[in-house]
Structure 1
Amino acid sequence: MKAANFPRDKWLGDFDYEANPNINQATINTLATGDWIRKGQPLCFIGDSGTGKSHLLIGLGTAAAEKGFRVRYTLATRLVNELVEAEDEKVLAKTIARYGRVDLLCIDELGYMELDKRGAELLFQVLTEREEKASVAIATNESFSGWTKTFTDPRLCAAIVDRLTFKGTIIETGTDSYRLAHTKNQQLAG
């Protein structure tokens, strides 16, 4: 669990499925078994801010770690920055290999910021290293059609989408923010 580097504790049992009817609890429970990780398949959570993407990403990562899978969590921008620094310091191959050794790589907040060509290419190398061998789970606020804002090279964007969706599971979490609704309900109750 410690090696996974989760930013906070999130458990699948704490997820409020009633607050977000877009999320099928049976699908999440099936994913929690870890079969998709054993098969090296990808998982994508797509939805607006506050719809439970990060909670589910961390919750499934936690469930995987509890089952003995090697898991690593990172923000997309942090991963890209680490890769750029590794390339500058001539240790890129070692860094990519380190990310290639985990069973499940959880990348959060993909699509929130535009990546320059170099950063996008380095991220692509990590995804290619893991392709069909080891699972990647991502959370993004942008539908695939909008990823050209993050990955400005259309060919590279298409290749990244291809790697993150082939034989994978895509879950759309919707547009209604749980956090915003919770805050409004608290204000009404107070």
Structure 2
Amino acid sequence: MKIEEAARELKLAYIREHYTDYLKEATHRGLNLEEALNELLCEEVTQRRERSHQRRIKQAKFDQKKYLADFDDSVFDEYPRQQLCQLKTLDFIKRKENAILIGNPGTGKTHFSIGIGIEACLQGLSVQFVNAPNLIIQLKEAVTQSQFVRFKRRFESVDLVIIDELGYLSFDESGAELLFNLLSNRNDKGSIMLTTNLTFDRWQECFKDPTLTGALVDRLAYQANVIDMRGESYRIKQTSSWIDSMTDR
């Protein structure tokens, strides 16, 4: 069996595509067999990990790419800044705890949640990202197609579910009940990260039913990491700076 055939059967994609050029390079550099084999296998592992990371990020379905390195937490007070720092360790995912980010639009909730999600993907965890209005649409479609149980099982199987923009739109009765069912069954099976513009006492504006709202808050907020990110909007601040810069010209 030739090297290319063996590499294909063993699914060693990098070695299969590059072993010829690498063997020439190893000979030119005077590497012995052990050194050459070690380097080649290490590169195969590196490439496989990178493909795995990219596959997880793609499967997560982030609507944009945001990274923790670009997130400015200096605008927050010390306590929420410490809470955000603790979330960056991803230990809350390992403990299957929830995280709820509360703040007005433009304060970085979505940026931070996506940054956490991408970091989780890079550490080998599975993530699903969706904004709340789209999730309701997906749930209703799943029910119509008799796929709700399958949808719920897939929703429960990932390590971290990120639900963005809860509270920006209210739900009708069927949508609220479906979301309640989904989140209640997910709870304790894995972490949920929610971003919302509504404090808990206003969630009824979104879910309408006070009994359902109370039960959902009780489940999601119990031993959760609740972070108050209310403050001045990044986007408004950036727009004001841009306007000022144009005025000064």
Q: TM-score range by the shorter chain?
A: over 0.9
> What TM-score results when the alignment is normalised by the length of structure 1?
0.95
1:23: Cα distance to partner? Answer: 7.2
* Aligned equivalent of 2:22: none
Assess if the C-alpha contact under 8 Å between 1:51 and 1:176 holds in 2: yes
Assess if the C-alpha contact under 8 Å between 1:124 and 1:160 holds in 2: yes
* Aligned equivalent of 2:134: 78
Can you list the C-alpha shifts for 1:25-81, whole angstroms capped at 9, x where unaligned?
443232122111111111000010001110111111111111111100001011111
* Aligned equivalent of 1:110: 166
Q: Does 1:60 align with 2:116?
A: yes
13, 27, 30: which one aligns with 2:69: 13
- Within 2, Cα distance between the matches of 1:56 and 1:92? 30
Assess if the C-alpha contact under 8 Å between 1:96 and 1:125 holds in 2: no
Q: Which has the higher helix share?
A: 2
Q: Which has the higher strand share?
A: 1
Unaligned residue ranges in structure 1 (runs of 5+)? none
* Aligned equivalent of 2:97: 41
* Aligned equivalent of 2:213: 157
1:19: Cα distance to partner? Answer: 3.6
Compare relative contact order (CA 8 Å, sep 6+) and give the higher one, 1 or 2.
Answer: 1
* Aligned equivalent of 1:166: 222
Unaligned residue ranges in structure 2 (runs of 5+)? 1-56
215, 218, 238: which one aligns with 1:182: 238
The count of aligned residue pairs is 190
Identity of aligned residues (%): 36
Assess if the C-alpha contact under 8 Å between 2:74 and 2:81 holds in 1: no
> What TM-score results when the alignment is normalised by the length of structure 2?
0.73
